Amino acid sequence: MEGKGTALALSAMAITVILALSLITIAWKRTDIHDHMLGAVLGIILLAAVLAMMFLFFALPDNRRPVVFFLTFFVLLTLPGNVFLHARAYTGFSLNAYDLDAPGMPSPLPYLLLYALVVALIFIRLVSWSMTFDPEPGSRPITLQDLRQRLQTINDGAQFPFTVAPGKHPDEIIVDWKYADAAWLDLLRAHKITKLTRLTIRLDKSDHTARVRETQSQFNASAGAGGAGLSFDKQWGAITFYETKRETLYGIQIENGRPVPKLSYSYEFDIREMRDPLLKLITANGWTFKCVTLPIKWLTG
């Protein structure tokens, strides 16, 4: 997996920069056309996207497909304005020739909705492609039952921060990491926090692919003289490319319902510590590892 997608990422950055410079050139030289400054706005947005993706390019040396995904998405979002400005600048096209309010003129709304639908479908498909890892060279796929057994025993005798359990279906594995679970007292106020990341792995023996859906949940509660607060947040279908967290909570810690002589609680989270061991085991045994947003094979690939 070393450097996967590097050439594509560099090509995507080069194409995006060329489009951005072309839009900025139109804004600078073609002051005679209407809305020419739109080119400067779109060009700056695309250049900012390239600069942001340079961070991911170096942060994810083994898989640079996310760079291609984000840049493609930004280009698609700015595509209507890009095409319009280039048509105005080089072909003399003008919307002034069309009276959209005239009787019999079709409404542009259906076309805009169709374009939005196409972009959404491309987004779903492309985001799964960007987080697809092929089997290791020379490996042969083992049976679904053998892979399921190896996944369930991955943390036997090892100090991985997550737990692995069978799911509700024979082809399903549930991986949980409760990386924050604390209760403490702070200025006569009690607090409780729980954070969990879950990976649901569905094993498809028809194409030897492990499709992985991510779920994140967070529970916060507090109570004191000023009243009580409660919040719960859950995200389904998220695909996390790169994420690290580190936080320290200060106060008298509570364990098993009793205060203990600890004045702080620290937790760390790195998605790679959870995903990488599973990815390596699956690809080493001849299967493809694919992160998906929805459990719909024809849509996510």
Q: What percent of the chain has pLDDT over 90?
A: 53
Percent of the chain past pLDDT 70, that is, above it, reads 93
Q: Is 269 strand, coil or helix?
A: strand
Give CA–CA dist 291/26, Å, rounded: 40
With cut-offs at 50, 70 and 90, classify the pLDDT of residue 94: low
Q: How confident is the model at residue 103 (pLDDT cuts 50, 70, 90)?
A: low
Q: What is the mean pLDDT of the chain?
A: 88
The backbone torsions φ and ψ at residue 44, rounded to the nearest 5 degrees and listed phi first, read: -65, -40
Domain ranges of the chain: 6-130, 144-184+195-217+233-245+265-300
Query: pTM for this structure?
Result: 0.84
Whole-angstrom distance, CA of residue 124 vs CA of residue 292: 8
Q: Which of 48-62, 93-107, 253-267 has the highest mean pLDDT?
A: 48-62
- Residue 261: in which H helix or E strand, if any? none
- Amino acid type, 128: S
Q: How confident is the model at residue 219 (pLDDT cuts 50, 70, 90)?
A: very high
Neighbouring CB atoms inside 10 A of 102's CB total 7
| 144-184+195-217+233-245+265-300 topology per CATH | TATA-Binding Protein (3.30.310)
Q: What pLDDT is attached to residue 110?
A: 83
3-class secondary-structure state, position 140 = coil
Give me the pLDDT at residue 88, please.
82
Average the pLDDT over each of 75-79, 106-110, 111-115 and give the range with the smallest value. 106-110
- Return the pLDDT at 197: 94
Long-range CB contacts for residues 53-58, cutoff 8 Å, separation at least 24: 53/9, 53/13, 54/13, 56/241, 56/242, 57/9, 57/13
Provide the CA 107 distance to its chain's centre, in angstroms: 35
CA atoms of 143 and 49, how far apart (whole Å)? 42
Lowest average pLDDT, out of 177-181, 204-208, 222-226, goes to 222-226
Looking at residue 89, what is its pLDDT?
83
Most confident of 85-89, 107-111, 135-139: 135-139
**Cα(23)–Cα(133) distance, integer angstroms:** 35
23-30, long-range: CB < 8 A, 24+ apart: 23/82, 23/85, 26/85, 26/86, 26/89, 30/88, 30/89
Report pLDDT for 187: 77
pLDDT in tens, 229-263: 889 898 888 888 888 889 998 888 988 888 888 88
Structural tokens at position 26? 């139109």
The pLDDT assigned to 101 comes to 53
